[in-house]
Structure 1
Amino acid sequence: MATDTGVLDWLLDSDPALRWQVERDLVGAPPEVWQRTRARVPVEGFGARLLSHQDADGQWAGGAYFPAGFFDSDEAHAPGQPWTATTWSLKDLREWGVDAAHLGDTAERLAANSRWEYDDLPYWGGEVDVCINAYTLASGAWLGVDVTPLARWFVDHRLTDGGWNCEAEEGDSVRSSFHSTLNAVRGLLAYEMLTGDDSPRDARHGGEEYLLQRRLLYRLSTGELVGGFATSFVAPTRHRYSALTALDHFRDVAVHEGRAPDPRLADAVAVVRHARRPDGTWLQGAPLRGRTWFDVDAGEGEPSKWLTLTGTRVLDWWDAAA
């Protein structure tokens, strides 16, 4: 199914954080066009709004992973978690395409002022949670921090089945998790692309193989669907696994490494294709609960521009290879 001109026009009528990716990945605009749009991200729309919330000490909401005072507030007992603190804000800005230069001396301010809620550890050293360390690895590489020790942490903390699990450090699990493994390999790929250091590539490939053996969807032991989360799509995805987010990662890998799509992705592609509506859009799922600075996408059950961007580029990539 070719992307309808009306859908492209709808996608292009967007915040610069989304529009530049539509221009690059779906429209095939010349680099000078999408780069000009990308340069607008930190000065208008989502990027400018999020940058305006940064604290003088370099943090957002006064905390590393959670806002300051979170654990002493009623919010700590509510479903979900806030998405306003430093780690989530950096993740959004990086993924929206903000040039690191616009963050100024943020890396230095965080090194001086930000500590993890876990054991009061220094920010750029990471902590024990795989997903948190994946976001920190990617953000540090983006901001020019030497995070090579954190990259090696992923090599040392892979589980025997090939992936990672955020609960492993607490001794609660010796099996890898779809969520943790996808976050780990995404962070490692971002690190490699930003720094050129491919020394953790074998570890990343091992995590990707963990997901491929399960065809992004199934338990290896029984062949059953791993859980409803794999076929439920939502934007922003935050930490959550889905077949769509995983496919977008494997597309990034293929582009970066010059690979053809792995045939084991076919079932996940079929799930994404099935979710595409006749008008060429994807509907927003149930947003992850928790406070945000502001909304960046449609409400539940409405056509989602972020999901439509991701779904379309994944299918375009797969179909072009076929």
Structure 2
Amino acid sequence: MTKTTSQDNEKGTIGGEKVPILLSKRWILAYIGMVGFFFIYSLRVNLSVAIVCMVKDDVNKTTSTNLSTSNEATCTADTPSNSTNNGEFDWDKDTQSLMLSAFFYGYIVLQVPGGWMAGRFGGKRVLGIGVLVTAIATVLLPVAARQDHRAVYALRVIMGLAEGVSFPCMHSMWGRWSPTMERTRLASFTYAGLNVGNVVTYIVSGLLCAYGFDNGWAAIFYLTGGAAFIWVFAWFVFVYDSPEDHPSISQAERDYIVSHRGDKQTKKFKVPWKSVVKSRAMWMCLGAHLCNNWMHYTLLTGLPTFMKQVLKYDIKQASSEFVL
């Protein structure tokens, strides 16, 4: 490995050779990772919009009528939606809720083991297989829904298990690929894909409900799942677990990453679990994160149904107007 100096660091060079930035291998990983998290969240939230189109309007007719007759219910629109939804299924509220929540029963299981799996088998392999399994389950979901609603529960749990490794694997990847002074920038760019995925999926799913093939809602799963297959192919072709494994990375970039990623200490330390449990700062951060995630996932999962059934909001029409 080429020896680096403080003067090299200031000039962004290693041994006199300039280190690439925007077209570097680490930034290519960030670009592919961002698109990956776009699909990871797209495959997660597509059912939230699709279920509005899948279920017949008259299933919750009684509840909706009772809400709209109250003049004091300021959160309810005065006039009903102008559109009608000829959905295929007559699932009640409990069935819909279980379908939407089943994902998280699987998602919670591999949050911690996912990090160990990434370290043991490589983040590239574990994350790629996780998204592949999620894409397969997504494409199969329309078939499962038309056979038995319990099959949808099973597929959603499988999707949660597969996506539970996403963040631990990406953290592991950036631990090997990002110099300490670029870690925040690279990770933030990568995880921005999840917010873009939420917004785009909500809009596109509304359009597909109205204009898509196979009754509209099924097209949501076919298209998002099919596009995820393309990303999985790109992930396995262009991404490597570490700069040491990459066959075409420049020597300057490899040396730059290895010398600045902060893993020179080879001694292993035991986790001070007792101190962690007794830390008030840790519990405050955990509580804040719990509340944030509770609110975030509640809105992410239930907002389309709430807007349709309570606010009488026409999601299909709104998606069309947004694009126009």
TM-score above 0.5: no
Q: Which structure is richer in relative contact order (CA contacts within 8 A, separation 6 or more)? A: 2
Larger radius of gyration: 2
Q: Report the TM-score when normalising by structure 1.
A: 0.23
Which structure shows the higher helix fraction? 2
